[in-house]
Amino acid sequence: MIRHVAIVGATGAVGREVCTIFEERGLRFERISLLASSRGAGTRISVNGHAYTVQELSERSFEGVDYAIFSAGSERSKQFAPIANKAGSVVIDNSSAFRMDPDTPLVIPEINPEDVKQHRGIIANPNCSTIIMAMAVWPLHRANPVRRIVVSTYQSASGAGAAAMEELRTQTADHLAGRKVIPQVFPHPIAFNLFSHNTPIGPDGYNTEEKKMLEETRKIFHAPSIAIAPTCIRVPVLRAHSESINLTFEQPITPREVRLILSEAPGVTVVDDVKANRFPMPVDASGKDNVFVGRIRQDISQPDGRGIELFASGDQLRKGAALNAIQILELLQELAL
Amino acid sequence: MIRHVAIVGATGAVGREVCTIFEERGLRFERISLLASSRGAGTRISVNGHAYTVQELSERSFEGVDYAIFSAGSERSKQFAPIANKAGSVVIDNSSAFRMDPDTPLVIPEINPEDVKQHRGIIANPNCSTIIMAMAVWPLHRANPVRRIVVSTYQSASGAGAAAMEELRTQTADHLAGRKVIPQVFPHPIAFNLFSHNTPIGPDGYNTEEKKMLEETRKIFHAPSIAIAPTCIRVPVLRAHSESINLTFEQPITPREVRLILSEAPGVTVVDDVKANRFPMPVDASGKDNVFVGRIRQDISQPDGRGIELFASGDQLRKGAALNAIQILELLQELAL
């Protein structure tokens, strides 16, 4: 049993999912602190059948806290994670603040659980698009190293938080009613539209989301030279991300081998029903723990048999964020770290 | 001036767009026959400021018709195109019925206008996803041959017709109102969801839409060995298709060269505003003639400088269907064919 756990950003989309998963997995604790900004403080949230009042996050929030799960954005993590560490808490951080810090392990428990042992107070949770791709690719990479990935994402509104999901709903209703659509959370209309991920673009032309997919995958896989060409696109879907993944392996590989490997991979569900034309879809992946993978086929553009194409959908709030963080917490407990 | 033109499938999404574009481009004709199935017959549609009554399509519909634009599905094209030819009409066919027939030219006027001269009564209009990709890739391929394309599509509901667009609207309204969603036109929910293109899947794992992108592009480009790995996905967007395109060229090429070539290419608009994070979007491309291309960057996964990444959006009903057909008609008139 956990003595004292804190959820920072408890009223956000990921924070609320953390609370739900605590309950689902029957995670027991003696004490829980639900923390948020002054705006969220006072909200009542139920965990394990008991309603807790969200407290305002402050420098004194971490006294006696063993584990703190942060899902409140990079700025808050940068400010409060060191404070939590000083108070003796181990931080599991959902933000991008520490992911590429060489002293911070970046962990997907199905892939690199042993990295958690190197932590110095903070374990980083990878970006959601990275996790969903990594879950589909890692089991194959272990069997036959992946040389190159060309990936295009279909990212849901949930990746931008609860307000973005609400904007997708209200903007769509406005569009259907013929009312003028005024984007507020997103910079572009999201109703019946899609757009390039609105993170800053570097001198190489790639946006931050795309760079995360490249750099984080290299770190998690311990594969510093794996080549990745990502294109990140936001689509009008509520909460599961999808990804079209084209792979080049070191050695030839068949769809049959891929299907076999993935069907035995933890955290992966193969959805590849050619006859029924049923493959991974956001509506099916939403609320599910596993990443769905299908459309498994030999890449006809790589005649040497080293190419495979896949399509994956995974719940961005669960495996893409809250669930992975809780799996890290479970791993820490198991290792008594 | 055209003497007598017929629009087969005049009440469908593409047929209606054909009528609109006739008016916009000021195409003049002495006589027009709007044709549809018995269900559509009797509908009044305005062309060039005059309302016409849609007639029921029959074997006698083509007497005296010089040009007939078919947008009524493959079965109807297979049945009625030979009848139209026999009556002396030249057919421009939007369906897939004759596209891969070696005797039928498959034409995008900006790319292979000269192919139209080989026609034997039918000129095929390519698939919408093919046209949008080809418009973005052809100007580059001419300058530096493209060896391989990895493409993932974000296809709008309009590609499945007017009823599919209506289903997206009503199903989304039902979803927002908490009503049960029952798919009718599409096999899967389309509201806030996406799915693999629901065309039959061949033994190689590719669906028909994907095979069209491969085979049609090879035919239009006269490039039988160009390698293409397509993944076709339907998204909850109303009427413009988008495509994430990864290219491998024969020789190294820079984003600057690509931008220059595309900015001068007919039918292409470069939308590549890195500072404002504004790139091709369906809402902007809808109703426009040009294919929008942006996110032009050197592919970081191809260190030899032969890789380029692009993102394109094009109106599926216009350049993807009706406009291209009308451009073929204009070409036929110009060449007096």
Ranges in chain A, pLDDT < 70 = none
Contact criterion met (CB < 8 Å) for B168 and A192: yes
Q: Among all residues of chain B, which has the CA nearest to that of A194?
A: B281
Tokens of residue B221, six digits: 């480009």
The closest of A78, A18, A26, A19 to A46, measured between CA atoms, is A19
A151 touches A244 (CB < 8 A):
yes
Q: Would you call A128 a catalytic residue per the annotation?
A: yes
Return the number of CB contacts < 8 Å for A and B: 172
pLDDT value of position B1: 86
Q: Nearest CA to A46 among A71, A24, A72?
A: A24
How confident is the model over B91-100, as pLDDT tens digits?
999 999 999 9
On average, the pLDDT of chain B sits at 97
- Tokens standing for B79? 């049945």
- Confidence category of residue B10, pLDDT binned at 50, 70, 90: very high
**Residues in A touching B149 (Cβ below 8 Å):** 301
Report pLDDT for A337. Answer: 75
Indicate the pTM of the whole model.
0.97
| CB contacts, 8 Å: B237 with chain A | 192-194, 236
Cα–Cα–Cα angle for B69, B73, B79, rounded to 5 degrees: 80
On the question of pLDDT at B228 being above 80, the answer is yes
Q: What is the pLDDT of residues B281-333, one digit of tens each?
A: 999 999 999 999 999 999 999 999 999 999 999 999 999 999 999 999 999 99
Among B129, B147, B152, the residue to mutate for chain A (most A Cβ within 10 A): B152
* Residue B128: active-site member: yes
Would you state the pLDDT for residue B181? 87
Among A152, A168, A301, whose Cβ lies nearest the Cβ of B244? A152
Residue pair A152/A132 in contact by the 8 Å Cβ criterion:
no
Length of chain A: 337
Indicate if the pLDDT at residue B337 is higher than 90. no
User: 3-state DSSP helix/strand/coil percent for chain B, to nearest 5?
Assistant: 35, 25, 40
Q: Facing residues of A106 across strands?
A: A124
Contact A206 B238 (CB under 8 A): no
| B172-224 residue pLDDT tens | 999 999 999 889 999 999 999 999 999 999 999 999 999 999 999 999 999 99
Task: Report the amino acid identity of residue A250.
Answer: E
Element (DSSP H or E) covering residue B136: helix B128-143
What does the pLDDT look like over A10-62, one tens digit per residue? 999 999 999 999 999 999 999 999 999 999 999 999 998 899 999 999 999 99
pLDDT in tens, B92-134: 999 999 999 999 999 999 999 999 999 999 999 999 999 999 9
Chain A CB contacts of B137 under 8 Å are none
Supply the angle between the helices A13-24 and A323-334 in degrees, to the nearest 10: 50
Backbone φ and ψ of A265, nearest 5°: -80, 130
Chain A residues near residue B205 by CB distance under 8 angstroms: 255, 274, 295-298, 309
* CB-side neighbour CA atoms (13 Å) of B84: 30
CB-CB contact of A271 with A292 (8 Å): yes
Element (H, E) at A209: helix A208-221
State the helix-helix crossing angle for A162-176 and A13-24, rounded to 10 degrees: 110
Inter-chain touch A194–B309, beta carbons under 8 Å: no
Closest-CA distance, A295 to chain B, in angstroms, reads 7
Nearest to residue B150, comparing CAs of A50, A314, A201, A247? A247
Give SS3 for B29: strand
